[in-house]
Amino acid sequence: MSVKIAPSILAADFANLQREVEMLNASDADYIHVDIMDGVFVPNISFGFPVTEAINRHAQKPLDVHLMIINPDKYLEEFKKAGAEIISVHFEACVHLHRTLQHIKSLGCKAGVAINPHTPIEHLENILEEVDLVCLMSVNPGFGGQKFIPNTFSKIKRLSKMIADKGLNTLIEVDGGVNQSNAPLLVEAGANVLVAGNFVFSSDNPITTIKNLKNIQ
Ligand SMILES: O=C(CO)[C@@H](O)[C@H](O)COP(=O)(O)O
């Protein structure tokens, strides 16, 4: 299976969102990664339902919605309505993670769990069967354009083994500081979805940048 690419719309030009989404439609991107930040779980506020819905109105790729918010259960229906196909909640924000994942699936969405750089993947041992995608944060969540944290490599390898040992096909997504230098190593370690924000949108030719990431073996 070739690696899936999920450009993070957080790094797009918000004044030209339709144009940016149309660019992603024309690219090899597999998903559009949508970062929702509440200013409480993370020290930044991004955007909410109306902007997600506006992105979805133009998108021809599935929306991969990453909720960096407390109390995600309260907002799952709204994000489903706004167009989310994958909804990832943070392990650190969910007291009843099993219940939250069932809730996401009951809406017909794929259920993802995002974990912070300091959170051991071993915490997912007893929930992995319920998870469609694990989003390994390779930066502290809250901002685009940060430096990649190298402990991600060992987390990918351990998670890959855990998934294989259980006979699952859970996707491993890496999010934060992904670029052309670390991407081949991430894929080699076992990542199958790469989120890239600034690396894509700040490049001279985002379509070519996405294609180059996609062609990593
Ligand atoms: O969730 C986050 C940040 O909290 C990420 O999705 C970033 O948006 C990725 O951006 P880059 O690090 O690739 O610029």
Question: Which of 139, 200, 210 most suits a substitution to test ligand 1, by most atoms within 8 Å of the C-beta?
Answer: 139
115 in contact with ligand 1, CB cutoff 6 A: no
- Cα-Cα end-to-end distance for the chain: 9
Helix 17-25 to helix 49-58 angle (10° resolution) is: 50
What are the pLDDT tens digits along the chain (217 aa)? 799 999 999 999 999 999 999 999 999 999 999 999 999 999 999 999 999 999 999 999 999 999 999 999 999 999 999 999 999 999 999 999 999 999 999 999 999 999 999 999 999 999 999 999 999 999 999 999 999 999 999 999 999 999 999 999 999 999 999 999 999 999 999 999 999 999 999 999 999 999 999 999 7
Q: Kindly report the CATH number assigned to the domain that includes residue 79.
A: 3.20.20.70
Active site residues: 35, 175
Report pLDDT digits (tens) over 43-71. 999 999 999 999 999 999 999 999 999 99
Contacts (Cβ under 8 Å, ≥6 apart) of 88 = 64, 65, 66, 67, 111, 112, 113, 114, 133, 135, 173
DSSP characters over 43-96 = S-B---HHHHHHHHHH-SS-EEEEEE-SSGGGGHHHHHHTTEEEEEEEGGG-TT
Question: Does the pTM exceed 0.95?
Answer: yes
Asked whether this complex has an ipTM greater than 0.85, the answer is yes
Q: What is the pLDDT of residue 217?
A: 74
Residue 202 belongs to domain spanning:
4-214
Nearest-CA residue for ligand 1 atom 8 is 144
Annotated binding site: 8, 33, 35, 66, 142-145, 175-177
Q: What is the total count of domains within the chain?
A: 1
Q: What is the pLDDT of residue 1?
A: 72
Q: What is the pLDDT of residue 11?
A: 98
Ramachandran angles phi, psi of 159, nearest 5° = -65, -40
What count of residues does the chain have? 217
